Chains A and B, each alone.
Chain A
C-alpha cells in the first residue's frame, strides 16, 4: 500500500511513473504540461479576441459586403428555419429568364451573407425542367411564377411563404456609354419578405360584390365563364377569407373588410350601393375593380354607376375594346398586355410574362383641372400602335384603326390608385379593364397562372403586404471606368514587371558574385 502511494502518476498518460523516475523525466512532464497550458491559453485568447470583434469587417467603400442593420435585425428574430428556394432553369432561354439570371447573381451573394449572419437560412436551387420538387412548389404556391424565388417557413405547424420575382430583385439598364448597369434592391425585398413571414400573416378578409351579374365565387365549374370559384379557392389557400357581399342587403361594407372585389358587374350598380362603396373607399377601404368589357351585348350598364366613382379617384374606363393585330394581320380580341414601365412597387412585383385579356377596355388616368388626393399609375399596357389600339366601333368585328376616335397603343388597361397624405402613400384601388381573366375557364387554361399572379400581386399591394424596407439602399453594379485601352493597361502591367524582374535579376547577379568571391 505504501509502495502504491509513493508511485507518481504521469498527468498526461495517466499511467504510473517508473519507480525512481529521474528528475529529468519529471521535468519533461512539467515542460509538456506547461506547453499544453501555453497552447490552450493562446487558443483561448484567440477565441476571446474573435468573440469581441464583429463577424466581419467590411473594407469596401460602399459597405457592399455588409447587410443593412434592418436585415440583421430581422435575421436575428428568426427562430425557425427559413428555406429560400430559387426556381429557375439552369440555362435561361427567354428574356425574362435571362433577366432573372442576372438578378440571381447578387441575390445569391446576399443570401450567403444572410446565411453567415443566421444559420437558419437554407438555400436551395431547383430547375423546373428537371426537378419534380420545383413543379410541386409551383403547384403548392399559386403566386409563384417561374423563374422566381419562394421563401418558406413553418410557424406553429403552419407553412407560410412569400414569393419574389425579378422585378423585386433588380433592374438592368444601360449607362450613357451603352454600358450595362444593374441596380439591385433585392435586400429590401428579401428583408420585407422575411419580416412578413416571421411577423405573422394576417388573414385577409375579402368581400366579393354580388347581385349585379358579377363572377360568382360559389361557381367552381372548371369550364364556367361566370364563376370565379377557383380564384376564390386559391385566395383561401393563401390565407384569405373570401365571402360574397350583397350591398342590396348589407347596410354598409362590413367593418372587417380588408378588400372588396368587384369582378365584372354586368348590370347597373344602384347609386345607393355605389355610395356605400364610395364611403368605404373614403374611409381607407381598398378595392380591386375588374371591369366588364364595354361590349354592346352587355349594354355596359355598369358604366355610369362605376364611372363616377372611378372618376373621383382619377381613373377613366373607356367605352372601347382593346384589339391586337396578329402577325398575319388578323384582328384578335384576346390581347397580350405587359407591365408598364414604372418604378412603382406594384408594377415591379408583376411578373414579366404577358397576361392575356379578352375584349378589355382601356383604363386611363383622368385628365382634369381639379386637384385630386389620389394618383393613378398605369399597371398593364398593350403593344404599341399599329399592332394594338383601343377600338370604339362595336358595330363590326372588322376593326380598323381610326385615328379620330380610336386610342393608339400602347393602351393602359389597368391602373393602381394611391392616396397621398403628405409623404405617405397608401393603396386604394386596382382597376382592370377586364374581368374574364379570373373566370374559372381562363384560370384553368395554360396561361391562367398569369392572371392569378396578377390578382395576388394586386392583393398583396392593396393589403400592404408588399411593403418594402425602402430605407435599405439599392446597390449598383457597373463595369469599371477605364482611362486607357486594354493594350495600355497591359503596358502598365508589363512595364512594372520589367522593373521588378530587373531588380530581382540584379539580386541574382549580386548574390552569385558574392558567392563566387
Chain B
C-alpha cells in the first residue's frame, strides 16, 4: 500500500514541479506573504503594546490574517481541484483504477500530494518570519569587504513561530482533504475548485461569527460549539504558541473521514 501511495504522491509532485504553472503558483503565493511580512514589520516597529495574545503582530502573521486567509482561499482550490476531477476529465483516472492500485490508495496518495503542495506554497510565511528574526535589515562588512548581515531583527518567542507552523500544517491537511473530497465528487475541476472555495468561505464566515457574537455580548458558552468548526479560530490558537491537542486530533480525524469518504465515493462511482 505504501509503495502505491508513494508512487502516486511522487507522480503528483513531479507533475507540479515540471510545469511552469506550478512555479508561478509558488511565486503568486510568495507575494502576499512578503506584503504581510512588510505590514507586520511596520506594526512591530510602531511599538504598540499587544494586550491580547491575538493582537501580537507575530501571532497575527502566522495566524488568521487577511493575507494568509486570502492566499489559502485561492491556493487550496487551485491545488486540489485537479486531484481527481482532472484525471477524470482527461481520462487518466480509468488507467489508474484499472491498475493494481486500489481507489483508496490513489485517493490517499493524491491527498498527501495536495497536503504537501499546500504546505510548500506556505513556506514563504515562516521563511519571512525567520528572516526578520535573524536579520534587522542592516548590513556590515565582514573581513573588511564582504557585505554580511548586521544582526538579529525582531526577537520574538520561538514558540509563536513553531506553534504557527504546526497550525498551518494541520489546517493545510484539513483543507487538502476537503479539496480531495470535492474533487472526488465533481466531474469537472472548475466545479471542484468552486465547491472548495465556497466551503472555505463558509468556514471563514463561521470563524468570524464568534467575534460578531462577542461584540453583541452573547455569553461565550452559548457559541462554544461554533468554535469547534471555526478553522481560522483554531489557527489563532496555534499562532499564540500553543498546540491544542484536541484541535490537532479533531483536524486529523476530519482529514481521515474526508479522505475515506473520497475513497468510498471514487470506489462507488468507478465500480
**Which residues of chain A have a CB within 8 Å of any CB of chain B?**
32, 35, 39, 42-43, 46-47, 49-50, 53-62, 64-66, 102, 104-106, 108-109, 115-116, 119, 122-127, 131, 179-182, 477-497, 500-501, 504-505, 507-509, 511-512, 514-515
Q: Are the CB atoms of B253 and A43 closer together than 8 Å? A: yes
Q: Are the CB atoms of B52 and A504 closer together than 8 Å? A: no
Q: Are the CB atoms of A482 and B154 closer together than 8 Å? A: yes
B69 within 8 A of A: no
In the complex, chain B residues 19-44 whose Cβ is within 8 Å of any chain A Cβ: 19-20, 22-24, 26-27, 30-31, 34, 37-38, 41-42, 44
Asked, given contacts A39-B257, A488-B136, A515-B20, whether A59 binds B220 with beta carbons under 8 Å apart, the answer is no
Residues of B within 8 A of A483 (CB): 136, 138, 150-153
Residues of B within 8 A of A492 (CB): 41, 131-132, 135-137, 153
Residues of A within 8 A of B270 (CB): none
A227 to chain B, nearest CB (A): 40
How many angstroms between the C-alpha atoms of A241 and B61 in the bound complex?
A: 56
Residues of A within 8 A of B249 (CB): 46-47, 49-50
Q: Are the CB atoms of A53 and B245 closer together than 8 Å? A: yes
Q: Are the CB atoms of A182 and B51 closer together than 8 Å? A: yes
B214 to chain A, nearest CB (A): 8
In the complex, the 7 A-B pairs of residues with the closest C-beta atoms, listed nearest first? A105-B51, A488-B137, A486-B45, A59-B159, A484-B136, A60-B159, A50-B249
The closest CB in chain A to the CB of B240 belongs to A65
How many angstroms between the C-alpha atoms of A177 and B148 in the bound complex?
A: 29
15 A-B residue pairings within 8 Å (CB atoms):
A39-B260, A42-B256, A64-B241, A105-B51, A122-B221, A124-B217, A182-B51, A482-B47, A486-B41, A491-B137, A493-B34, A497-B124, A508-B24, A509-B20, A511-B20
Q: Are the CB atoms of B23 and A507 closer together than 8 Å? A: yes
B49 within 8 A of A: yes
The closest CB in chain B to the CB of A498 belongs to B34
B128 within 8 A of A: yes
Q: Are the CB atoms of B18 and A511 closer together than 8 Å? A: yes
How many angstroms between the C-alpha atoms of A488 and B38 in the bound complex?
A: 10
**Besides the contacts A59-B162, A66-B242, what 12 more A-B pairs have beta carbons closer than 8 Å?**
A43-B256, A57-B242, A60-B160, A60-B242, A104-B51, A105-B55, A106-B52, A480-B58, A482-B154, A496-B34, A501-B27, A515-B20
Q: Are the CB atoms of A125 and B217 closer together than 8 Å? A: yes
Residues of B within 8 A of A515 (CB): 18-20
Residues of B within 8 A of A50 (CB): 245-246, 248-249
Residues of A within 8 A of B49 (CB): 102, 179-182, 477-479
Q: Please, what's the 1-or-0 string for B227-260, where 1 marks a CB less than 8 Å from any CB in chain A?
A: 0000000000000111111101100110011001
The closest CB in chain B to the CB of A497 belongs to B34
Asked, given contacts A496-B128, A500-B124, whether A62 binds B157 with beta carbons under 8 Å apart, the answer is yes
Residues of B within 8 A of A182 (CB): 49, 51
Residues of B within 8 A of A491 (CB): 137
A225 to chain B, nearest CB (A): 41
